[in-house]
A = this chain, B = another copy of it.
Amino acid sequence: MSGPNYTSRRSRLLRAIKTAGVDALLLSGESNVRYLTGFTGDSTWLFLSKTATVLISDSRYETQIANECPGLDVDIRDARKPMSVAAADVVKKAKVRQLGFEADHLTVTQHSALHQKVESAELVSTTGLAERLREIKDKWELVQIREAIYQAERGIGVVRSSLRPDQTERDIRYTLEAAMRSFGATGPGFEPIVGVGPTGALPHAHAGDRLVSESPILLIDWGAEAPSGYRSDLTRVFVTGRITRQMRTVYETVLKAQKKAIAAIKPGAKCRSVDAIARRVISNAGFEKYFGHGLGHGFGLDIHESVRMSPISKQVLEPGMVVTVEPGIYLPGKFGVRIEDDILVTNTGHEVLTSVPREFDDAVVEFLA
């Protein structure tokens, strides 16, 4: 399969730029620049107008840009020239009057500097123009995401098959990362969360020194990063000992909430309605106050991308979107259960891209007594 069509992506963005009422867009979001050019470094901005496409970078990246973005115009500033000055020169040369900037990817400091140096054009705040394009994954991107899912799923297979009561959360994290790499990942898609018992009740805990044997509930939230930069994002809970009735109830409630929410995923579904479906199941079981985050999110080059499925989201699902569905119940000081899969919105409904078994019986891992 051939690589991504950057020219086509930039053409689509140019149409969005026109609709937004500006002549040109200055992109400072790292993943947006990568999506539109293939450049994998940082500290590099992209100027895009109908007549000019220029990467603004510095000498550290000169050769890398020539390799990764053949044919693209590049403005290499030297160490003494600030980015704002280099950008202003490009803007002036392109004779732009209304210059859009990315309000989500420009700090107040950067904006002030830009405002001071760009005298030839009016700065106009924009949000989400490139992110809107990135919501819909193209065929090449779906291949990358499937690859990152493959790496994550093979990785958790190794963890599961090598699980021992005397492993720490940290041991498991490192085993998982090495295993994903052995299947071709460049690394984890984000810092894996490995939580035994009470640690699993912290939705964003760091893997620490707790032993698997300290609780019958082990939560792992992990994903891989494929060489292309695309990621995957899953969560499973393993049952490694004798559990209480409450643990079983929580597990089954989360699973039911997840299944019902996934079943509702199709083009035209409101993100907040899908969130509400899962939330209602959890609420009906009496755990509403223990599910404090949104139901899921888009992902791709970043682990958190538009769209968001949460109670305050105003977005609607469309074919080509890939989202996580990850309800959870967290009982502070006791344990947490979250089950997370990756779902592609298709033309007629959805496809669950992930395939690690998730029924309660699948979660049980037996050790020698």
Enumerate A107-158 residues with CB–CB distance to B below 8 Å.
Answer: 107-109, 111-112, 125, 127
Q: Is the CB of B60 within 8 A of A293?
A: yes
Residues on B with beta carbons closer than 8 Å to the beta carbon of A42 = 204
Q: Of residues A107, A125, A170, which shows the largest number of chain B Cβ atoms within 10 Å of its Cβ?
A: A107
A62 close to B332 (CB less than 8 A): yes
Q: In the bound complex, what is the Cα–Cα distance between A41 and B191 (angstroms)?
A: 12
Closest to A336 in B: B63
10-67 of chain A: CB within 8 A of chain B: 40-42, 58-64
Chain B residues closer than 8 Å to A333, beta-carbon distance: 63
The answer, yes or no, to whether A252 is at the interface (CB within 8 Å) is no
Query: Bound complex: CA of A250 vs CA of B56, how far in Å?
Result: 29
A112 touches B103 (CB 8 A): yes
Do residues A58 and B292 form an inter-chain contact, with CB atoms below 8 A?
Answer: yes
Within 8 A of B (CB), among A270-318: 292-294, 310-312
30 A-B pairs within 8 Å (CB atoms) are namely A40-B206, A41-B204, A58-B292, A58-B293, A59-B293, A60-B203, A60-B293, A61-B202, A61-B204, A62-B292, A63-B201, A63-B202, A63-B333, A64-B204, A78-B292, A79-B292, A79-B293, A79-B310, A80-B312, A103-B112, A104-B109, A105-B107, A106-B108, A107-B108, A108-B125, A109-B125, A109-B127, A170-B186, A174-B178, A186-B206
From B107, B178, B203, contact of A104 by CB (8 A): B107
Interface residues of A in 199-256 (CB under 8 A from B): 201-206
Number of interface residues of A (CB under 8 A): 44
Verify B311–A79 contact, CB threshold 8 A.
yes
A231 → chain B closest CB, angstroms: 15
CB neighbours of A60 from chain B (8 A): 202-204, 292-293
